[in-house]
């Protein structure tokens, strides 16, 4: 999938994304990093079509993203939110089968088999009949990753999937994500976990004050060209 | 600590019992409930009518309240405005006034003369906005992140309500609905003003005949409490149950 952002801006009370140009073609794992409030989550939401830009264009596979082709685009991507955002009245299994059966119109049996398979890949088969509040935060987040993968997305977007987790659960979730990348899933993710970025990403975008300050291969972390990235890395303790 | 708490609860109950006995003792030289026992069939019929009218009004006001709720949540401004005006008018009108409006204005305008039907309509109109409030409260308890997920996966309106919103609304609405049922049961007493022979009306007739108002209204009071206190306790118990 070719995703290209051209002169994209977005404001709420103030400008959070400021005239960004970005081309994500050819990368398998893109990490967006930066301090809190720098606009990285907003950038991810713009890329997923959850929010639309005030100015500029988002071009997907050579077509400009707009309301008429948004559903088609979102059919081909997956998303994992900061909180797991699973439906609390459904079990982990039902959270996935609901999407497959009712939205993607898969036959019941096929939907169930696929959902069990996904949960098994994320080591959640024994927890699949529990509702989200009866599993750990890490397990719930992994179930939300399974839900994101259920629609066979070309790209999975993750918005700080470990922000609400303690270090042990964070490792549990990130290890699962690493396993999935090895299976060929593509990711664009926002994170604070620099060690994970080093291990996982093949392209890094560093943002500050709504702008992309540096971007490139993971080497930019070892050799920052700007004071702002240098400071950020120092503050993150790495 | 637990024992001390229990003692306080017992003392509170004893205080009420003392006040109760004291007041009854002050207002009645000799209590005589014979006239009520002699006419118990009239009281039972009145009680049955109260319960029947309450259940029917409860069901209808729940349905109307739900429709009004859907209208208030609608993106169509026309429907939203209709629902909001309805809520404002009804919630600003006392039940007694509403009963007269329904009987002497709406009933006459639409040609309904049946008192039972008019009483039923009055209670339905009156309680439906309160039912709407219960639905709205439950709807607002659903985390906004779930709407984001529904938007992302392209749930249509039916799928949203059928699979996500309504199943999560059921638990939080039950205590509110029970409280409203209690309100309806008490509200039926107003229907005595249009001579519907529910329990309040039946008791009033018997008390008027025998001039034994204290006994009559005392028993009536007890009947209402016997019905409403368990309902109120049940609502409190259910509201303490954890949601998903």
Across the interface, whether the CB atoms of A131 and B244 are under 8 A apart is answered: yes
**pLDDT for res A84:** 86
Confidence class for position A133, pLDDT limits 50, 70, 90: very high
pLDDT top residue among A1 and B66 = B66
Contacts of A85 in chain B (CB under 8 A): 143, 145-146, 148-149
Are B155 and A83 a contacting pair at CB < 8 A? no
In a domain, B191, yes or no: yes
Would you tell me how many other CB atoms lie within 10 Å of the CB of residue A130? Answer: 16
Interior/surface letters B195-233, b for 16+ CB within 10 angstroms, e for the rest: ebbbbbbbbbbbbeebebeebbebbbeebbeebbeebee
Selected residue with higher pLDDT from B129 and A168: B129
Are the C-beta atoms of residues A77 and B157 closer than 8 Å to each other? no
Q: How confident is the model at residue A119 (pLDDT cuts 50, 70, 90)?
A: very high
Please give the C-alpha separations between residue A46 and each of A85, A214, B111, in angstroms, as whole numbers.
19, 19, 59
- pLDDT tens figures, A38-80: 999 999 999 999 889 999 999 988 888 888 888 889 988 999 9
Please write the tens of the pLDDT for every residue from B14-43. 999 999 888 888 876 777 888 888 888 988
Q: What is the pLDDT of residues B173-211, one digit of tens each?
A: 999 999 999 999 999 999 998 888 888 999 998 888 888
Q: Indicate yes or no: CB of B154 within 8 angstroms of CB of A85.
A: no
Considering the domain boundaries, does residue B193 fall inside one?
yes
B86 touches chain A (CB under 8 A): no
Largest CA distance in chain B: 73
Judging contacts by C-beta atoms under 8 Å, the chain B residues touching residue A103 are 153-155, 159
Q: Average pLDDT for residues B147-158, to the nearest whole number?
A: 92
Residue B107 counted as domain residue: yes
B76: domain CATH number is 1.10.3720.10
pLDDT at site B219: 87
| B199 in a structural domain | yes
Contacts of A133 in chain B (CB under 8 A): 244
ipTM of model: 0.84
Q: What is the pLDDT of residue B59?
A: 97
User: Is B106 part of a structural domain of the chain?
Assistant: yes
- Provide the pLDDT for residue B2: 77
Q: What confidence score (pLDDT) does residue A1 get?
A: 75
Q: Where are the domains of chain A?
A: 1-76+154-238, 86-153
Task: Tell me how many domains chain B contains.
Answer: 1
Chain B residues whose beta carbon lies within 8 Å of the beta carbon of residue A99: 153
DSSP 8-state secondary structure symbol assigned to residue B188: G
- By C-alpha distance, the chain A residue nearest B155 is A103
Q: What class does CATH assign to A1-76+154-238?
A: alpha beta
Q: Average per-residue pLDDT in chain A?
A: 89
Q: Residue B232 pLDDT > 70, yes or no?
A: yes
Q: Which of B24, B40, B2 is nearest to B206 (CA)?
A: B40
User: What pLDDT, on the 0 to 100 scale, is given for residue B100?
Assistant: 93
Q: Give yes or no for B153 touching A (CB within 8 A).
A: yes
Which of A48, A74, A89 is nearest residue B244 as measured by Cβ atoms? Answer: A89
Q: Does the beta carbon of A85 lie under 8 angstroms from any beta carbon of chain B? A: yes
Helix residue ranges, H only, chain A: 40-48, 70-75, 92-98, 108-121, 137-150, 167-182, 194-200, 219-222, 227-235
Is B8 within a domain? no
The verdict on A76 touching B (C-beta cutoff 8 Å) is no
Per-residue model confidence (pLDDT) at position A237: 62
* CB pair distance less than 8 Å for B145 and A81: yes
Give the pLDDT score at A165: 76
Domain containing residue B82: 50-238
């Amino acid at each position: 999938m070719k995703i290209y952002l051209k002169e994209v801006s977005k404001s709420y009370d103030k400008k959070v994304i400021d005239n960004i140009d970005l081309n994500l073609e050819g990368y398998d794992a893109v990490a967006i990093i930066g301090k809190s409030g720098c606009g990285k989550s907003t950038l991810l939401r713009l890329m997923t079509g959850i929010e639309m830009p005030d100015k500029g264009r988002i071009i997907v596979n050579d077509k400009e993203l707009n309301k008429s082709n948004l559903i088609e685009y979102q059919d081909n991507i997956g998303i994992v939110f900061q909180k797991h955002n699973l439906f609390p009245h459904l079990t982990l299994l039902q959270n996935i089968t609901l999407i497959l059966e009712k939205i993607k119109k898969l036959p019941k049996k096929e939907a169930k088999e696929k959902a069990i398979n996904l949960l098994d890949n994320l080591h959640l088969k024994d927890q699949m009949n529990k509702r989200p509040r009866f599993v750990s935060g890490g397990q719930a987040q992994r179930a939300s990753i399974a839900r994101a993968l259920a629609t066979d997305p070309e790209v999975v977007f993750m918005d700080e999937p470990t922000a609400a987790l303690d270090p042990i659960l964070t490792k549990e979730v990130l290890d699962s994500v690493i396993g999935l990348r090895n299976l060929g899933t593509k990711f664009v993710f926002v994170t604070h976990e620099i060690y994970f970025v080093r291990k996982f990403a093949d392209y890094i975008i560093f943002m500050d004050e709504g702008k992309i300050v540096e971007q490139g291969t993971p080497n930019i972390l070892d050799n920052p060209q700007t004071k702002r990235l240098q400071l950020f890395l120092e503050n993150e303790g790495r | 600590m637990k024992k001390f708490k229990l003692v306080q609860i017992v003392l509170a109950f004893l205080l009420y019992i003392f006040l109760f006995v004291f007041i009854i003792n002050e207002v009645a030289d000799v209590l005589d409930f014979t006239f009520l026992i002699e006419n118990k069939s009239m009281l039972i019929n009145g009680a049955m009518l109260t319960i029947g009218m309450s259940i029917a009004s409860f069901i209808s006001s729940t349905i109307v309240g739900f429709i009004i709720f859907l209208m208030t949540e609608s993106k169509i401004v026309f429907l939203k405005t209709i629902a909001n005006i309805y809520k404002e008018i009804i919630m600003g009108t006392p039940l007694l006034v509403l009963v007269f409006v329904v009987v002497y204005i709406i009933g006459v305008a639409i040609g309904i003369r049946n008192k039972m039907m008019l009483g039923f309509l009055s209670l339905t109109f009156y309680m439906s906005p309160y039912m709407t409030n219960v639905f709205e409260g439950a709807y607002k308890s659903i985390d906004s992140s779930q709407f984001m997920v529904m938007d992302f996966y392209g749930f249509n309106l039916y799928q949203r309500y059928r699979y996500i919103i309504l199943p999560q609304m059921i638990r939080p609405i039950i205590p509110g609905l029970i409280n409203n049922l209690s309100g309806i049961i008490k509200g039926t007493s107003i229907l005595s003003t249009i001579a519907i022979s529910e329990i309040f009306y039946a008791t009033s007739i018997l008390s008027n005949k025998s001039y034994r108002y204290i006994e009559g209204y005392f028993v009536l009071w007890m009947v209402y409490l016997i019905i409403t206190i368990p309902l109120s306790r049940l609502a409190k118990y259910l509201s303490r149950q954890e949601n998903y």
